Structure 1
Amino acid sequence: MWLEAVQLLPPLLARMLELGCGNGMSSSYLMAKRGFEIHGIDISHVAIDWARERFAQENIIGNFHHGDVRSMPFFSNCFFDLVFDGSCLHCLIGEGRDRCLREVRRILRPRGVFVVSSMCGAPKSEDALRHFDPATGHLRKDGKPYRTLKAKESIEAELSPAGFRLVCSSLNVNPWWDHATIVCTH
């Protein structure tokens, strides 16, 4: 799987966006060190401040934006070569997922690469299972859905109507949650 995915990566100096970048120290940091032009978006002001501080401390250039992945008007059409979901998609519920995927398609250049990294499948802990609705795939907190945990195949099925072509995928089985990595192109 990864050989196929690596061959799809754009050349150095390409523009990359990390959805749900948090403090920027995962894929944004790694790709910046490899020469990519990095952009990150997160709904948390605190996380964006951390990302900016960490990149500044290490003299790494990164552009971090506070915002909502369901609406990113500050990015122009076809702006990015690579969009990486930094475990963000599973945080979206219902129509929010479709809106995010439409936005990613809009800002990703033709033949650009979209990597989805998402929790998937039913939770495995007894406590989480008590708050999980298998009919909707929603994990609930205080009675409200806050995570969408679909099977890997269901996540893949969401991508095609949004205009993405599946290239490869894998499932990492963990004790608490399974995790899907799905690589597709625009």
Structure 2
Amino acid sequence: MPQYDRRYRELKAAGLPGWAGAAHTRGLARLTAALDRLGSEGAIPAAPADLLELGCGNGLGALAMAQRGYRVHGIDLSPTAIAWAEERFAAAGLAGAFRIGDVREMSAFADQSFDIVLDGSCLHCLIDDDDRARCLTEVRRMLRPAGAFIVSHMCGPPKSADAKARFDVQTCRLIEDGAPARALKPLAALAAELTAAGYTVCRTWLAENPWWDHATLVCSSSWHASAICSSTAP
């Protein structure tokens, strides 16, 4: 979508680190802490596993995982973000493979290509239920046996006055510029959606914030022997 690429052009011109501007570093710290915790507990495949980040943006999350020894790939709609990620990896002397693309259709990636698929706060940007289902089906196709799908998702209802004023309670959607922009499903609804899409939800936890909460869910494909789930309890 053009607005995403425009946003990345503006961020880069302003010298800001990522999608959330100055707040991006805080979100990245939360994500990497969660991934380090999962890795230390054996709840996700260890490096040098193959990892794909959905909605990788300008590569900050992917860079953190590459620095931990993972073989990283990323996909994002924004050409500016992908070029920025490639620049960032080149400057760090690290290898990463990045692709402009739509997470609803990822046929460029073969079946069972990845040990980990990481939702880089991308799924909550898919508003339509059919679009979300298409993405979840693609992820299942690409996961290897004993692979892990890590979902990072805004979790409603919002708490701040501004967000409450822009929240549609009936659809659990946050409105921006008059149109639905983010899905803020309750944690139980997220887990039910993933289960219906063919995943086993192995672990969930909720980071509480003053504006809205953020959920992390670790999943495996239900058709595989659940090595991920056997190593961790919800």
TM-score by length of 1: 0.94
SS at match of 1:69: coil
Structure 2 gaps, min length 5 = 1-33, 222-234
Match for residue 145 of structure 1 among 168, 180, 201: 180
CA-to-partner distance for each residue in 1:77-133, whole Å, 9 max, x for gaps? Answer: 111100011111111112211111111111111221000011111122222212211
SS at match of 1:184: strand
Percent sequence identity over matched residues?
52
Paired residues of 1:39 and 1:63 also in contact (CA < 8 A): yes
Question: Counterparts in 2 of 1:21-170, with a 5 A limit?
Answer: 21-26=56-61, 28-94=62-128, 95-170=130-205
Take 1:5 and 1:41, find their aligned partners in 2: how far apart are those partners?
26
Paired residues of 2:48 and 2:71 also in contact (CA < 8 A): yes
Residues 4 and 30 (structure 1), Cα distance of their counterparts in 2 relative to 1, 3 Å cut: closer
Residues 3 and 118 (structure 1), Cα distance of their counterparts in 2 relative to 1, 3 Å cut: closer
CA-to-partner distance for each residue in 1:20-59, whole Å, 9 max, x for gaps? Answer: 1111112x11221122110011111111111000000011
How far has the Cα of 1:156 moved from its partner?
0.8
What stretches of structure 1 move > 4 A for 4+ residues in a row?
Answer: 1-5
How far has the Cα of 1:65 moved from its partner?
0.8
Paired residues of 2:39 and 2:46 also in contact (CA < 8 A): no
Paired residues of 2:148 and 2:220 also in contact (CA < 8 A): yes
CA-to-partner distance for each residue in 1:117-153, whole Å, 9 max, x for gaps? Answer: 1111112222221221111111112322111100111
**Whose strand proportion is higher, 1 or 2?**
1
Take 1:69 and 1:185, find their aligned partners in 2: how far apart are those partners?
18
Paired residues of 2:39 and 2:45 also in contact (CA < 8 A): no
Take 1:115 and 1:6, find their aligned partners in 2: how far apart are those partners?
15
**Whose helix proportion is higher, 1 or 2?**
2
Paired residues of 1:5 and 1:168 also in contact (CA < 8 A): no
Q: Number of residues paired by the alignment? A: 185
How far has the Cα of 1:171 moved from its partner?
0.4
Structure 1 gaps, min length 5 = none
